[in-house]
Amino acid sequence: MRADLIRLYKTLHTWTGIIAGLALFIAFYAGALTVFKEPLARWVAPPVTTLSVPLADTPALIARTLAAQPTAARDFQITLNPDAANPQRLTWQDHPGHGEEHDSLGAHHYAATLAADGSARIETTQPSQLTELIDILHRVVGLPFDNDITRAVMGVICMLYSLALVSGVILVLPTLARDFFAMRISPNLKRMWMDTHNVVGLISLPFHIVMAITAVVFAYHDGIYALQNKLFHNGNLSATWAGAKAQHTPPRNPADLLPPTELLSRSHGIAPDFVPTSLQYVQVLGPRPTVRIWGHDDSSLSPRAMGGFVALDPYSGKVLSTDFLPGRQSAANTTLASFFALHFGTFGGSVVSAMYFLLALAGAWLFYSGNLLWIESRRKGGRKANQKGINKEGQQSPPTATQRRDVRALANATVGVCLGCVAGISLTIVAGRWLYGHVTDLNAWHWYVYYAVFLASIAWAFWRGTARAAVELLWFATAVTLAIPLTSLACMLGLLPGPWALTDASGVDFTAFGGALALAWMARATTQRVRHGEAGSIWSALPEEAKAGKKPGA
């Protein structure tokens, strides 16, 4: 391959990585946590104290709820196994205002139970949106809203990410045979980081290709469909989705709905391995009533993040569609579903979940290390340029002082953004239990806590300088992450007043404990480097004057 071509792709790799790297770190770190969305939701939700309506009474509950609140018929859900995160049997939401479907935070949540006299009692609920916060950070690279604009920003970031991937592969290709698995553990730390960056990138390349393509699709699919609708579907695309025209039907009576147990036995008859989790009733009073039985099948891939479903007619029990039923899809539908499953890791059960968690963390590390490599080479380039008056490209180098300021700024931003994101998420998880009952709008506080930590960490990094801030923020992240299992320990010992008294530890606590250990190890290693590393390094905590004093002699 031509050397100048490789140099061009090297520049492309560098700059796309620098522009997109920090946003991608947040997307990947938060994305790793969304793999364990359900355990996290259970961790932060208060334990259930009231009994939910028995499944056998659900037909009466549905009929009386719809009589009292007909708008619920648009879309409501029956939870089959109520737990801490979803304690209510019958729930629905409405989206006031412009009805933006991605705006999950603005939704009003309702739940219905049966009162003692048999009537429906409807209440508004405030389910914890902690996992939604983490998911939004993941979906729109750390921005606080998921709307058309932030999704477009995310799309641009992901296009840069795809360019960084392709150019990164082109860069390592010429020396692939020699350098693959060549981990030069040597005093040359930069060489070692570079080798690790390359090997982690290459090993997880298939994962990253999948993520880059699916993420750009998720960002722009509405626009692409709209254009294709004009160009190729003659404006008939919505009719294509809707399928056959509905027949005229007499008014529906909710009392005629088949009981959930009957619907479940139908789905069991179609797919014995499919484990249903909830029933979603859509337009049950309209001309095309549907019930989607959602669930999981670990022996097959799930077409959506929350699993798959079989669609039945809730009155007759007739199967309307198995297009989204894991293991019962046509080849074409399975292919389409695999694009989603490959992004969400919803295939192969908990082994794949754990793998996706680790791959996403490795991805986050890839962006962090990429930035650090840029900083290190910039620093050296700057010093050489200082001696020779030219830099590697053979062009006139800019004054060393400004270059150093750029490098320092990026180094500070890298440390502040990455560690601020880690610490912010950990602390907002912990806040879910400590602030419960003490603030009126806990879901808003989740955002306040996250952004307070995130922005303060960035400010701290710029105030203290990279080297000192890295050590301090790493210890801070360690402390707030360790606070997750410690909070659970306090609950087990009955020290935390409130509903969690005497709850058990969960996988979240063990994972957080492991994460805290890893952060502590990084904090120790960074301390070493800050104290004993090269004086010219960005990682040196030597005072500025000392560095400046050395420069003329260097």
Residue list 162-191, contact with other proteins (CB under 8 A) = 162-163, 166-167, 174
Min separation Cβ 396 and other proteins, Å: 17
> Min. distance of Cβ 169 from other proteins in angstroms?
10
CA distances from 172 to 8, 166, 201, 360, 403 (A): 13, 10, 10, 21, 27
Query: If binding is defined by CB under 8 A, does position 395 make contact with other proteins?
Result: no
Helix (H), strand (E) at residue 347: none
The reply to whether 217 sits near other proteins by the rule CB under 8 A is: yes
Q: Minimum CB separation from other proteins for residue 347, in Å?
A: 18
Please identify which residue in 237, 435, 455, 520 interacts with other proteins, judged by CB under 8 A: 237
Return all residues near 347 (Cβ < 8 A) that are at least 6 apart: 300, 301, 302, 338, 341
Provide, rounded to whole angstroms, the least separation between the CB of residue 166 and other proteins: 4
Which DSSP helix (H) or strand (E) runs through 175?
none
CB of 171 to other proteins, least distance (A): 12
Say if CB 95 and CB 101 are below 8 A apart: yes
What is the spatial distance between Cα 292 and Cα 270, in angstroms, rounded to a whole number? 14
Handedness of CA 354, 360, 363, 369 (dihedral sign): negative
Handedness of CA 451, 455, 460, 466 (dihedral sign): positive
The number of beta carbons lying within 10 Å of the beta carbon of residue 517 is 13
Pick the binder of other proteins from 212, 341, 413, 477 (CB under 8 A): 212
Q: Which of 178, 235, 241, 545 binds other proteins (CB under 8 A)?
A: 241
Q: How far apart are CA 541 and CA 171, in angstroms?
A: 33
Which three-class secondary structure state does DSSP give residue 124?
Answer: strand
- Burial class, 49, CB count within 10 angstroms (exposed 0-12 / middle 13-18 / buried 19+): exposed
> In terms of DSSP H, where are the helices of 55-129?
58-68
Closest contact distance (angstroms) between CB of 88 and other proteins is: 34
- Number of residues lying near other proteins (CB under 8 A): 38
The verdict on 244 binding other proteins (CB under 8 A) reads no
Instruction: Tell me which stretch binds other proteins (CB under 8 A): 85-93, 226-234, 438-446, 460-468.
Output: 226-234
Determine if residue 429 is left, alpha or beta; phi over 0 gives left, psi from -120 to 50 gives alpha, anything else beta.
alpha
Question: Smallest distance from the beta carbon of 397 to other proteins, in angstroms?
Answer: 18
Asked whether position 357 contacts other proteins by CB under 8 A, the answer is: no
Residue 12 interacts with other proteins (CB under 8 A): yes or no: yes
**Given the complex with other proteins, which of 217 and 361 has the nearer CB atom?**
217
Which of 25, 76, 220, 357 touches other proteins by CB under 8 A? Answer: 220
Residue 97 vs 235, nearer CB to other proteins: 235
Measure Cα distances from 417 to 14, 390, 412, 452 in Å.
19, 32, 8, 12
For residue 19, state whether it binds other proteins (rule: CB under 8 A): no
Q: Restricting to residues 432-491, which ones interact with other proteins according to CB under 8 A?
A: none
Cα 389 off chain centre by: 46
Per CB under 8 A, the segment of 229-237, 305-313, 361-369, 412-420 that binds other proteins is 229-237
Is the separation of the CB atoms in 473 and 419 below 8 Å?
yes
Binding flag, residue 232, other proteins (CB under 8 A): yes
Residue among 12 and 45 whose Cβ is closer to other proteins: 12
Q: Which is nearer to other proteins, 8 or 182 (CB)?
A: 8
State which of positions 283-342 bind other proteins (CB under 8 A): 332-333, 335-336, 339
Q: How far apart are CB 363 and other proteins at their closest, in Å?
A: 17
- Taking the C-alpha atoms of residue 484 and residue 151, their distance in angstroms, rounded to an integer, is 31
Nearer to other proteins, 41 or 216 (CB): 216
Residue closer to other proteins by CB (options 322, 386) is: 322
Beta-bridge mates of residue 296 = 275
Tell which residue, 278, 248, 246, has the closest CA to residue 263: 278
CA–CA gap between residue 264 and residue 341 (Å, rounded):
24
Please say which residue, 5 or 525, places its beta carbon nearer to other proteins.
Answer: 5
Among the listed ranges 132-140, 227-235, 280-288, 533-541, the one in contact with other proteins (CB under 8 A) is 227-235
Binding interface with other proteins (CB under 8 A): 1-5, 7-9, 11-12, 159, 162-163, 166-167, 174, 212-213, 216-217, 220-221, 224-225, 227-228, 231-233, 237, 240-241, 243, 332-333, 335-336, 339
